[in-house]
Amino acid sequence: MANPGIRYVFPTENVPGQELLDLINHANSYLNNETFTAISRATLATVIESAREVLGTNSTNILIDSVETAIYELTAAVDGLVLVAELEAARVRLQSLINQMDALNEADLTPASWTSLQQALSAALGVLEREDIAAINAAFGILNTAFDQLVQRQPTPPIPGPSDDDDDDKKPGNGGNQNLPQTGQSSSISILTSGGLLLALGLVIAVKDKKKFE
């Protein structure tokens, strides 16, 4: 197949544009073939009309570059015909992926990844019923990527309560109570100590009084 912009010198024995004319006749055979989608056949019909306009001038005035461009575009339109069966298969694949979204819970996912998924899902739903297999396949790829990139939300850590160590500090006999006053034993020792001092003081006074009377 020739490319646009490359000048092609037709053989002198051929009518200029004969290759394009043959291609137009070939392309016409697809226009009523319902195994291909309506939209792809409509696109082909438009390109065929453009190609006919190129051949509509006097054959001696046909621009070779214009013929080459028309051949390129018409060949691409024929190659771009989409089978109805292929379109339906692409739709089923996309619908299956969309159905997987029903099992997701927004609360389980990070806001950013959930938003990206919803945007891709909205786009997929928008093209699902279109006769555009390229758009459907593109939407599938975008949605599948967003699905693979979902991020699970991390659970909120629990608020810590009183620890066992705090409870142990409050029990009698533990280190946490070492500074508490031991009221029973301390009082008894204080009374005994005070009584002993008073007794000793009394003896001293008695001895002094005895010496005074001698």
Task: Supply the range of the domain harboring residue 73.
Answer: 18-81
pLDDT per residue as tens digits for the range 31-61:
999 999 999 999 999 999 999 998 876 555 5
Residues 116 and 144 in one domain: yes
Query: What count of Cα atoms within 13 Å lies in the side-chain half-sphere of residue 115?
Result: 3
Within 13 A of 175's CA, how many CA atoms are on the CB side?
A: 2
Which residue stretches of 14-83 are H helix?
18-28, 38-55, 64-79
Neighbours of 185 (CB within 10 A): 9
At residue 138, the pLDDT reads 97
Q: Is residue 213 part of a domain?
A: no
Low-confidence ranges of the chain (pLDDT < 70): 1-16, 57-62, 161-214
Report pLDDT for 172.
56
At which residue do the structure tokens 């190129």 appear? Answer: 54
Q: Which of 81, 97, 114 marks a domain boundary?
A: 81
Helices (H) and strands (E) in the chain, counts: 8, 0
Q: Is residue 108 in a domain?
A: yes
pLDDT of residue 122: 96
Residues 97 and 73 in one domain: no
The pLDDT tens digits of the residues spanning 7-35 come to 344 444 455 588 999 999 999 999 999 99
pLDDT at position 152 is 94
